[in-house]
Structure 1
Amino acid sequence: MTSRHKFAIVAGCLTTLISGDASAQLSAYSCYDLWHERNAIYARRGYCFKTDRAISEFGVGCFPPYGRLTPQEAYRVREIQYWEAQSDCSE
C-alpha cells in the first residue's frame, strides 16, 4: 500500500469521524439554532433571502455565487434539514 493510499484511508476515516460528531452535535440544537446554521451556510454563499426573518438575520444577500453550494455545504444542509424534521421544526 502506497503512502498516498494510506493518506486517503486516514483522511476518509477522519472525515467520517468528524461528520458523525457534527451530526451528533446537531441533534442537540434547538429549532432556531438549526434554522440559523442552515441559513448561515446560504448567507455565506450569497443566497437572495426573501423572508423577513432571514433578511433581518442575514441581510438580503444576492451576490455571486447566489446561494450555489459546494457538495460539502449541500451535504451539511441536508444533515441540518434531517434534524429539523426530527425535531419537528417549522419555518
Structure 2
Amino acid sequence: MAISAAARTCTRKVKRARHSGAKQNQVFLRLSGFMEVDMRASTTLASLGLAGSLFAVLAAATPARADACFDLWVARNSIYKAYGYCFKTPKAIAYFGNAGCQYDYEGDIPFSHSDKARVLAIKKQERALGCL
C-alpha cells in the first residue's frame, strides 16, 4: 500500500515531536496542504471530555429509564395491592398503603394464572432495564 507524501510528512513530524522531549509533546499535522492542526497530548482533558459526554448521555437517558422503572413498579405492585399484599417498604406503603392487606408473604398470594404471568413479565422487564 502506497503512503502519500502528506502522510509521510505527518509521520515524520509525529516521530520528531515524540523524541524532542518537549514538555507538551506538540504535534503539527498538515492536512491536504492547506490546514495545519496543533494537537497537544492531554489525556486529562480528553478523559474529562469523554467523561462529560458520557455523563450527558446518561443524564439524558436516566429520566426516561427512571420513569419506565417507576411505571413498571407501580404496575407490578398494583397487582399485589389488588390481591391484598401487605407492603413492607416505606416507598410502597406510602404509595399504596396497607389498609385491608391480608398477605404478609408474596408466596401466599392466590394469584390467577394470568396475573402471575403479568407479574413475572413485569419483573423480567424491570431486570432488563436494571430497575431491580
Q: TM tier, shorter chain? A: 0.5 to 0.7
Q: 4+ runs of 1 displaced by more than 2 Å?
A: none
Tell me which residue corresponds to 1:82: 124
Amino acid at match of 2:125: W
Amino acid at match of 2:94: S
Could you give the per-residue CA deviations for residues 37-58 of structure 1, whole angstroms, max 9, x where no partner exists?
0000000000011110100111
Q: Bigger radius of gyration, 1 or 2?
A: 2
Query: 2: CA distance between counterparts of 1:58 and 1:39?
Result: 8
Give the length in aligned residue pairs.
61
Cα deviation for residue 69 of structure 1 reads: 1.1
Q: Which has the higher helix share?
A: 1
Cα deviation for residue 67 of structure 1 reads: 3.4
Q: Which has the higher strand share?
A: 2
How much identity, in percent, do the aligned residues show?
Answer: 39
Does structure 1 residue 42 correspond to structure 2 residue 80?
Answer: yes
More contact order relative to length (CA 8 Å, sep ≥ 6): 1
Amino acid at match of 1:75: A
Task: State which of 76, 94, 98 in structure 2 corresponds to 1:56.
Answer: 94
Structure 2 gaps, min length 5: 1-66
Instruction: Indicate the RMSD between aligned Cα atoms, in angstroms.
Output: 1.8
